[in-house]
Structure 1
């Protein structure tokens, strides 16, 4: 279904809905028509955070023999790096394969025009690689249209099975996974935020992570504190909160989506998570299916989604503080009181696969307005 295209046509849809204070680079490419449906500052450079792991993986896979057989050790490392955004595996490859030379090799191989290694002041910080939305689309187009099938299967197969909880304790289902019901495949990136920890049904619990610079430190360096301001970042912001959602959406990977964002210093992770999701939801993404429901903000930290409308029900996941949830219906369950708030109503949040007490939903009433009974 792929149609080759070398140039972009003007996007037919209105400008993306970028929240106030957020800086965004956006590119959405429709592989069916060979045209971009969205373009916004697509050549602006952002620090890549963990999106650069796509290039690390491709560099490893580039050197395989004619049969493209992946050694078992590399298969396990690549899956952890791509599915659960494991920083240790990325640092392993960065150290073993020449650091910044990886970026130089892959930029030349894929014709990337806005991708550059980390600045000389931060040579071991692979997440400080400069990347644009346009180049991100080029990476996915290579994977889908030109890469050998075994390479495509390893990378895209891992991205289709991305875990909700990354290995550093961050919920990585913002943007594409929250805005669309699928099918999708994603590689996300984040840097400069604090996480309250993440658990998901069927996944091992990931620990709470303080002020992480995910994708921005050499292996073994402390993850505490905010990322240091760059002495020479080459014009790329290395200090603010970066949150990126990239991947494919729709049957047969119809649309390639690249949304790179920077958020004002001090923005909570849940707030940035929700703002990015709303931005992605506003885009013209051919082939996408959007879930029904109404979005509500949540209150507090460590908010748990449960399999049923009682505190005895299993915990399905723990939400980032203040994140928005999509509610489809509500039902009565166990009465809950938190501080001065009480309610026996529970909201059904299908994207998280469970129920959330209305006491922890940001609404003045114990029953959510305009939400039907389950």
Structure 2
């Protein structure tokens, strides 16, 4: 029997086994916030920077120079490159794409500009123009979402937009971020983090990658499937789910808040969003008012899936009655797992099955976004 052997899945398993064993506590830098402490939950890694434009000082920094996979946050750099030194306003077609890319995080719009403007050269140009120290283009043959960015560099990007960029560029970028839609065009709810932590004026550019569709998503029930690719770089975690919240809080875009995060493989979108929002709620953000706390995600262990219309069977066998279906890339709650009939597809094979209580049956483990045949035994027990 052969497990999935793509390099990224092997890397995911390695990272999962060395994940933090206790909650990490990160501390502020600088006397302005020396007494502040922010607790980052077990299984989450974060790079954080909070900059108060009214005082010209950081109120909080933790792993602020560490590189994270950019996901859609790199769309800020794409937008700035498109508008750099333009003699006039963007064409009507380009303006529509920029609005959709910034406001609703549209991937197709980003890819249009990425291909037109030289792909990774966009990141290299903007890093040089803005003096970004920890921002790098993606590895060869990888898309815009695999660029490397740091929290401090994203603060520099926002400072450029707010303090140096032409008024037309500032109005385009911040105007769209101030009107960020609840739902991204890929069907993900992008109201986590800054938008959920604070009341009052906010402007946000969020990012997410390697999560299945969120259960009971208020936007759309399923997101498009993603193709995994192998990687050779080790400096940036490309196998864990990445969830980022970046933007401004307060009147006049007073405070820039950037939290970049990764979450151990198997963390659901809802769980990651809850953890990230609670980290943001702890940050020292001058003048901000906290929104009511978010309700905890529904109890249970959630895992992302891949492929579309995956059958759920009465017993761990393809020959048993199909009792339900898992839509494309949906997250599902799991109860227990057991070995059953060997399932072979796409050159993969796996004889482990997992019981899905909401769907009343068993799904082959082959279709989980996980690095091994069996889901982690310390999280998902064997069926009795």
| Equivalent residue in structure 2 for 1:140, among 155, 158, 162 | 158
Distance change in 2, residues 1:234/1:64 (3 Å): farther
CA distance in 2, matches of 1:35, 1:124: 36
1:39 alignment counterpart: 61
Q: Which residue of 2 aligns with 1:9?
A: 30
Structure 2 stretches of 5 or more lacking a match? 1-28, 303-330, 334-357, 359-384
Contact kept in structure 2, 1:32 and 1:254, CA below 8 Å: yes
Q: Does 1:53 align with 2:75?
A: yes
Query: Is the 8 Å Cα contact of residues 27 and 39 (structure 1) preserved in structure 2?
Result: yes
**How far 1:293 sits from its partner (Å)?**
5.4
The structure whose RCO (Cα within 8 Å, separation 6+) is larger is 2
Tell me the equivalent position of 1:111.
Answer: 131
Give the direction of change, closer, same or farther, for the CA distance of 1:137–1:170 in structure 2 (3 Å limit).
same
Match of 1:224 in 2: 226
Q: Following TM superposition, by how much is the alpha carbon of 1:206 offset from its aligned partner in structure 2, in angstroms?
A: 4.0
Kept in 1, the 8 Å contact 2:132–2:156? The answer is yes
Which residue is equivalent to 1:151? 169
Shift of 1:58: 0.2
Gaps of 5+ in 1: 1-7, 211-222, 302-319, 323-338, 340-374
Instruction: Report matched runs for 1:95-110 at 5 Å.
Output: 95-110=115-130
**Superposition deviation, residue 198 in structure 1:** 7.6
Q: CA-to-partner distance for each residue in 1:277-304, whole Å, 9 max, x for gaps?
A: 0000010011211123573433689xxx
- 1:262 equivalent in structure 2: 262
- The answer on whether the counterparts of 2:246 and 2:259 sit within 8 Å (CA) in structure 1 is yes
Aligned to 1:131: 149
Equivalent residue in structure 1 for 2:188, among 152, 164, 170? 170
Taking the aligned partners of 1:147 and 1:168, their CA distance within structure 2 comes to 30
Report how far residue 63 of structure 1 moved.
Answer: 3.5
User: Following TM superposition, by how much is the alpha carbon of 1:119 offset from its aligned partner in structure 2, in angstroms?
Assistant: 1.3
TM-score by length of 2: 0.68
| Structure-2 change in CA distance of 1:32 and 1:64 (3 Å) | same
Cα shift at 1:229: 4.2
Per-residue deviation, 1:78: 0.4
SS at match of 1:64: coil
Contact 1:197 1:206 in 2 (8 A): no
Given the superposition, is the C-alpha separation of residues 40 and 321 from structure 1 closer, same or farther in structure 2, using an over 3 Å criterion? farther
Structure 2 residue 49 is matched with structure 1 residue 27: yes
- Whether the 8 Å contact between 1:44 and 1:132 is mirrored in structure 2 is yes
- Pick from 91, 99, 106 the counterpart of residue 86 of structure 1: 106
CA distance in 2, matches of 1:234, 1:95: 26
Looking at structure 2, the residues matched to 128 and 155 of structure 1 have their Cα atoms a distance apart, in angstroms, of 22
Deviation per CA, 1:244-267: give whole Å up to 9, x if none. 000000111110001000100110
State the shift of 1:124 in Å: 3.7
Mapped partners of 1:102, 1:224: distance in 2: 23
Taking a change above 3 Å as real, the CA distance of residues 321 and 31 of structure 1, as seen in their structure-2 partners, is farther
Kept after mapping to 2: 8 A contact 1:180/1:289: yes
CA contact under 8 A between 1:299 and 1:321: conserved in structure 2?
no
Equivalent residue for 1:317?
none
Q: Distance in 1 between matches of 2:35 and 2:253?
A: 20
The residue aligned with 2:223 is: 209
Alignment-derived partner of residue 316 in structure 2: none
| CA gap 1:299/1:9 in 2 versus in 1, 3 angstroms | closer
